[in-house]
């Protein structure tokens, strides 16, 4: 399979606990290359646009508050089958359901504050990468 790119966020609960390096090590061990990365502090409105797909869900407001509470690390990961591989390394949304050794099993604090985001399909990966990075920032 050809190289694929996915969009990843290291969420505020993880940046707050200095877990950026430990999480990046998990990605790299799984064969995912970090081809772009920046630490930014989203506004609540920017977080709301990013998670607009969840606008009708009961946890939406809390999720946007959380994502804007402290800095995040936005990333583009590249590798074979990168979207599925990243989701595998992340583990299930709820850390209680996440397989041993996954990022969420090891680091997540709750279903909401679950340390990482990863795109769920090629279409969403393309939209999410373009929301955070310009072409000039994607060196491959
Ligand atoms: P993500 O989009 O962040 O990669 O996570 P995901 O695909 O595993 O989960 P998704 O269903 O897309 O939910 C997005 C994020 O919303 C928060 N959430 N909170 N309190 C709750 O019940 C609840 N459910 C979801 C989590 O931060 C989740 O990652
Ligand atoms: Mg999702």
Q: Which residues line ligand 1 (CB under 6 A)?
A: 54, 59, 63, 93, 111-112, 114, 117-118, 120
**At residue 139, does pLDDT exceed 90?**
no
At 120, phi and psi to the nearest 5?
-105, 0
Instruction: Please give the number of the atom of ligand 1 that sits closest to the Cα of 93.
Output: 8
Mean pLDDT on 120-130: 98
- Which value does ipTM take for this structure? 0.95
Helix (H, G, I), strand (E, B) or coil at 119: coil
Fold topology of 3-137: Alpha-Beta Plaits (3.30.70)
pTM score: 0.97
pLDDT per residue as tens digits for the range 83-105 = 999 999 999 999 999 999 999 99
- Angle made by CA atoms 112, 64, 81, in degrees to the nearest 5: 65
Report strand pairing: 72-80 vs 116-118: unpaired
pLDDT per residue as tens digits for the range 76-86 = 999 999 999 99
Helix (H, G, I), strand (E, B) or coil at 32: coil
Which of 51, 53, 114, 116 is the best mutation target for the ligand 1 pocket, counting ligand atoms within 8 Å of the beta carbon and taking the most? Answer: 114
Reference 74, options 47, 40, 103; nearest CA is 40
Binding site listing for ATP: 11, 59, 87, 93, 104, 114
d(CA 9, CA 68): 12
**At residue 65, does pLDDT exceed 90?**
yes
Say whether 117 is catalytic: yes
Q: In this predicted structure, what is the pLDDT of residue 52?
A: 97
Reference 74, options 2, 9, 5; nearest CA is 9
């Amino acid at each position: 399979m050809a190289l694929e790119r996915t969009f990843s966020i290291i969420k505020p609960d993880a940046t707050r606990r200095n877990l950026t390096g430990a999480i990046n090590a998990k990605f790299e061990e799984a064969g995912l290359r970090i081809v772009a990365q920046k630490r930014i502090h989203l506004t609540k409105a920017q977080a709301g646009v990013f998670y607009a797909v969840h606008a009708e869900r009961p946890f939406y407001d809390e999720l946007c508050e959380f994502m804007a509470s402290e800095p995040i690390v936005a990333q583009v990961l590249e590798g074979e089958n990168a979207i599925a591989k990243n989701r595998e390394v992340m583990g299930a949304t709820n850390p209680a359901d996440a397989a041993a050794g996954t990022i969420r099993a090891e680091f997540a604090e709750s279903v909401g504050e679950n340390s990482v985001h990863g795109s769920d399909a090629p279409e969403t990966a393309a939209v999410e990468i373009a929301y955070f990075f310009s072409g000039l920032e994607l060196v491959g």
